[in-house]
Amino acid sequence: MFQAASELDADFAEAARAHLAAELEARGVAVCVSSSGDGLAALARVSVAGALQGSVTLRIEDDVAQTIVERRIDFAKVPPQGRALTFGLAADELLGVGWASVIAPKQAAKTPVVEANASVVAPATQIAKADRFVLLSINASTFLSGLRFAGPQLVLAQKMGRFVPELRAGLRWGNSLSATHGQAAFSDLNIGVGASWVATPLHWNTWIGPTFGVEFSRVAVRGEATQGASSQQGQAVGSFAHAGCMGVVRVSARLRLAANLTGGYTLVPVRAADAGQDLGGVAGFVVQASFGLGAVF
C-alpha cells in the first residue's frame, strides 16, 4: 500500500506510485493507495514525506520481512523529472531485499537501470525489527493423575524465518488432592524451552504450525492434615516434554495474540503420599493449553 504525505505535490505522488507499481509488477505484486476491500492483507506499507526541493524520507513497514526501514533521499541533487523514478527504484530495492527469500525475484527489468549517486540516496536505516516478541499468557495443565495447574507465564520468542525458539517462565497454582488423613496442595515455579515451526505462508497475518518443548518445575507440596494427623511439606524438581500445535495472530504492527495446545508425558515425576498411599501429582500424561497477548520489540 502506497501513501504520500499531504504536503507533497499530487503530480509527484501519482508519478511515484506509477513508477513503484511498474517496478513491483515484475514481482507479481500490485500497488494500492488504500486498504483492499477483497480481504487480502497488505504485504507492506510504503510512505513518503518531506520536501521535493530538499530531501524526502522513504518509510517501509514490511509485513513479509517483519521490519520497518527508512531511507533519506536528497532530491536537491535530482532533476525534477527524475525524482519520481528515483523514489520508485529506491522503494523497490528495499522491498526486494526484504522479500528475497519469500517472493520470487523479478523476471525482467521493466524500467531502465539508473545509477544513483551515493550522496543522493542514503543507506537504509532499520527502525524496528518486528520478529522478537514477549507474551504474557495464562497457562493451564492437567495431569492424568488428577492434578491441575493454572497461572501466568511470561514467554520470550524470536521469529527466525519459519523457526521460532522460545523461553517460558511462570508461577502456577494447583488443586488439592484428597487423602485419608487430609489433602495435599500443589504449586510450582516453572521454566521451559521450546520451538515452533511456521507452516503457513510468512506474509500471512496468522502463523500456525507444530510446537514442542521441555518444561522444568520446582514443585512445592503442602500437606493439610485432618485433626490428629501431622502435616508435612516439601519441594522437588519435576519435568515433562510436550508437543502440539501453536497459533499467532498479528493484531497490529506491534500486538500479537498467541495460543497453543499440547500433550506430553512426565520425564521426572513429583508425587505426594499419605501414609504410603500414592496421591499422584506431576506424573504421567499431561495436556497443556495457553493463551496470551504480547508485543514485538
> Taking a C-beta distance cutoff of 8 angstroms, is the pair 176, 185 a contact?
yes
CA of 110: how far to CAs of 25, 32, 138, 244, 261, in Å? 8, 19, 51, 46, 48
Could you say which of 129, 151, 173 is where a domain stops? Answer: 129
Could you say which of 82, 98, 129 is where a domain stops? Answer: 129
Identify the bridge partners of residue 261 per DSSP, sorted by sequence position: 245, 289
Give CA 198 to chain center in angstroms. Answer: 10
Residues 256 and 185 in one domain: yes
pLDDT of residue 111: 42
> Taking a C-beta distance cutoff of 8 angstroms, is the pair 172, 150 a contact?
yes
pLDDT values of the chain reduced to their tens digit, one per residue, 297 residues: 888 888 888 888 899 889 888 888 877 788 888 654 555 667 888 989 888 888 889 888 888 777 888 888 888 888 888 889 999 899 888 888 877 755 555 544 444 444 444 445 555 544 444 468 899 999 999 998 889 999 999 999 988 878 999 999 999 999 888 877 778 889 999 999 999 999 988 667 788 999 999 999 999 988 877 766 666 788 999 999 999 999 999 888 788 899 999 999 999 999 888 777 788 889 999 999 999 999 887
In sequence order, which ranges of 158-270 are alpha helices (DSSP H)? none
Residues 21 and 96 in one domain: yes
Strands, DSSP E only, in 75-147? 125-129, 132-143
Could you say which of 83, 101, 129 is where a domain stops? Answer: 129
**Collapsing DSSP states into helix, strand and coil, what is residue 10?**
helix
Q: How many domains does the chain have?
A: 2
Residue range(s) defining the domain that contains residue 159: 132-296
Here the CATH number for the domain that contains residue 239 is 2.40.160.20
Please write down the HEC assignment for all residues of 236-251.
EEEEEEEEEEEEEEEC
> Taking a C-beta distance cutoff of 8 angstroms, is the pair 77, 120 a contact?
yes
Residues 20 and 163 in one domain: no
What is the pTM for the complete model shown? Answer: 0.56
